[in-house]
Structure 1
Amino acid sequence: MSTGVPRTVKAVDTPELIRLDAEAITCGLNRNHGAGWLVEFADLAAVHYLRPVLVHRAAHRPEFSPHWRCLLLLTVRDGQQVVSLLDVLPTSFKQLPETLDAATKTEAAHRMEHGGLLTQAQWANLNP
């Protein structure tokens, strides 16, 4: 993990996740879910988890570079958890409240990295 990102996990509700995804799309960042995908497929009542993993630079969008590439533990409409990536502006991530205790952060990070979960793309291919 790059030293340029915070070593934390933050919880986000679905409306906030949709907002962050829309921001990534608007800014032309590479890792997003596409317009409307989260609205259609994310569990609207779930809590999702974001963990910055690296600093990403986009030469084609220097005004939004650098930004943070985050692992996302996403709960989809059928209740499954899947992993994905989402590019998030540092100011947007920093504005998310710290609501998780250390044990919950550790458990979420472990599930993202070692949980044997489907990726969002794999899930989408199985659930058109």
Structure 2
Amino acid sequence: MAPPLPRTVRAVGTAQLLDLAQEAAMHGFSQRLPVDWLQEHLAAEATHYLFPRLVQRLRHRPEVPLQWRCQQLLTVRTGEQIQGLLDVLPDTFDKLPETLDTASKKDIVSRIERAVTQREWVERMAAGPSAVALPEEPA
């Protein structure tokens, strides 16, 4: 029987997130950003957040362990927060310390839901400064 999906948010530093992404790559999990992309774009001293959303079991690939698909709130070097997905082993997630209060968790989930995706952010960055909408000056 699969462990129940926790309804919580966990905070991790950049180094820890890179380790989680490396573990996901090692297991061949499908939802993860490449470690080299993360190293290039994440803010080095930032806190990032993981929110488990579903249990992922690949019945067509029984050699792949069960994982929890987590939404991520990532802080990139520009200071913006973007969302992504990361598949994490339940035991690995359970070992992450619980450091956030209920109000903080609710705020983070709300920010995840409003954040642009990693793909949207990459496309906007590739389009250059003209793709970034600037606030209009008052008349």
Q: How many pairs does the alignment contain? A: 124
Contact kept in structure 2, 1:64 and 1:89, CA below 8 Å: no
Query: 1:123 aligned to 118, 121, 124, which one?
Result: 121
* 3-state SS in 1 of match to 2:35: coil
Question: Which protein shows a greater Rg?
Answer: 2
Distance 1:90 1:64, change over 3 A: farther
* 3-state SS in 2 of match to 1:100: coil
Cα deviation 1:81-103 (Å, max 9, x = unaligned): 01111000101100000011111
CA deviation after TM superposition for structure 1 residue 58, in Å: 1.9
* 3-state SS in 1 of match to 2:29: coil
Tell me the TM-score normalised to structure 1 length: 0.90
* Identical residues among aligned pairs (%): 46
* 3-state SS in 2 of match to 1:62: coil
Structure 2 counterpart of 1:5:
5
CA deviation after TM superposition for structure 1 residue 126, in Å: 2.2
* 3-state SS in 2 of match to 1:127: helix
Q: Which consecutive unaligned segments of at least 5 residues does structure 2 have?
A: 127-139
* 3-state SS in 2 of match to 1:8: coil
* 3-state SS in 2 of match to 1:65: coil
1:90 maps to amino acid: P
Structure 1 counterpart of 2:87:
87
* Cα distance in structure 1, aligned partners of 2:76 and 2:60: 31
Contact kept in structure 1, 2:11 and 2:100, CA below 8 Å: yes
Query: Which 4+ residue blocks in structure 1 deviate beyond 4 angstroms?
Result: none
Contact kept in structure 1, 2:18 and 2:35, CA below 8 Å: no
After TM superposition, list the pairs within 5 Å mapping 1:22-41 onto structure 2: 22-41=22-41
Alignment RMSD, CA only? 1.5
Tell me the TM-score normalised to structure 2 length: 0.83
CA deviation after TM superposition for structure 1 residue 57, in Å: 1.1
* Cα distance in structure 2, aligned partners of 1:10 and 1:37: 22
